[in-house]
Amino acid sequence: MDDRMAVQTVTLFTDTPLNLCLGGQLQYIDVAYQTYGTLNPNKSNVVLLCHALTGDAEPYFDDDRQGWWQSFIGPGLALDTSRYFFVCSNVLGGCKGTTGPSSLQPTTQKPYGSQFPNIIVQDIIRVQKALLDKLDIPHLHAVIGGSFGGMQATQWAIDYPDFVDNIVNLCSSLFFGAEAIGFNHIMRQAVINDPNFNGGDYYESEAPEKGLAIARMLGMLTYRTDLQLTKAFGRATKAEPKFWGDYFQVESYLSYQGQKFLARFDANSYLHLLRALDLYDPSFGYSDIKTALSRIKARYTLVAIENDQLFKLVELHKSRKLLEENGVQLSYFECYSDYGHDAFLVDYAVFEGKIRAALAPEYN
């Protein structure tokens, strides 16, 4: 893709630190970001892409590697780079170029580790806003995200109601459900109780890889569906099964996913971002949820997956009701996909028309 820029990094908050919502400050925040497409003369075609929990600033690669939204973005696709100028940054607290627990603390030049402050979604989007200001982007045609990215998109509409025209929230509710918080708790405990965790200060020794791999395996079960796993693996066994290990093919798949995750993610980042997901409350900083949602001026598209095992349909129904009751111009869709929650990453046929219509109403 000729209009794809290389990943770039800027340092923000160099003069004044970012005061975080839960207390503490961060200064000299590095932000890794990527752009796609061409900015038009009046800068009216900018779309901010917000990635999910373990994503990064690169939804698309133009070589043999696969980005996390590879099949969605490109000339003529739903995220049409011949029409829009896309900006995507790695989130605050991440481990793909933006300041997070594994980054060097400016004063000590050692990784933050256990000293990295607690963050929430509102902190993440304030850093995104600072990036857009740095890039001299005065307005957003849209903010689009799935899962954790959908929460970011929602908060953009609340905190910056005059800055964005369209919100596209894929597979994400306004609040995380109790069962989902429970899953995250188990995943965090797997990491924290790894003997190598050392309170988060493990960067000069062995990382808590066993705990992180287990956490990822559990996470994978919430992202897919029983139907998809049955179709893919059923009760097939390994050629050389291990009685207490990878006996079934589905076990081998989960083990593979857990080990693969170790090469690309940091345990501390995982903990912080999981907790930000749990804590997301659109009304933080406002008197109540009605006051917060009533600030939204953007057109809002919400897409639910009927058999999503993480963001359950009942939570999406609650979110729909709250948005409609508080005057949000809402387009709501329910769809089915064998992929469950992961559908927003891989099931292009389900989302294509809805994304196109959300970005360009005349599409319909």
CB atoms within 10 A of CB 94: 29
Mean pLDDT of the chain: 95
Q: At which of 275, 309, 336 does a domain end? A: 275
Both 148 and 250 in a single domain?
Answer: no
Domain holding 254, by residue range, is: 181-275
Both 166 and 258 in a single domain?
Answer: no
Q: Enumerate the known binding-site residues for substrate.
A: 216, 342
DSSP conformation class of 6: P
Q: At which of 247, 275, 303 does a domain end? A: 275
- pLDDT tens, residue by residue, 124-174: 999 999 999 999 999 999 999 999 999 999 999 999 999 999 999 999 999
Q: How many domains, the chain?
A: 2
CATH number for the domain spanning 64: value is 3.40.50.1820
Beta-sheet strands, E only, within 119-268: 140-146, 164-170
CATH number for the domain spanning 190: value is 1.10.1740.110
pTM listed for this prediction: 0.95
Q: Enumerate the known binding-site residues.
A: 216, 342
CB atoms within 10 A of CB 325: 12
- pLDDT tens, residue by residue, 85-114: 999 999 999 999 999 999 999 999 999 999
Q: Please list the active-site residues.
A: 147, 308, 341
Average pLDDT over residues 290-317: 98
Of 200-209, 339-348, 353-362, least confident by mean pLDDT is 353-362
Which tops the pLDDT comparison, 363 or 86? Answer: 86
Confidence of residue 52 (pLDDT cuts 50, 70, 90): very high
Both 141 and 286 in a single domain?
Answer: yes
- The answer to whether the beta carbons of residues 88 and 135 sit under 8 Å apart is no
One-letter amino acid of 236: A
Both 323 and 235 in a single domain?
Answer: no
Both 163 and 187 in a single domain?
Answer: no
Indicate whether 1 belongs to any domain.
no
- Provide the pLDDT for residue 284: 97
- Provide the pLDDT for residue 2: 41
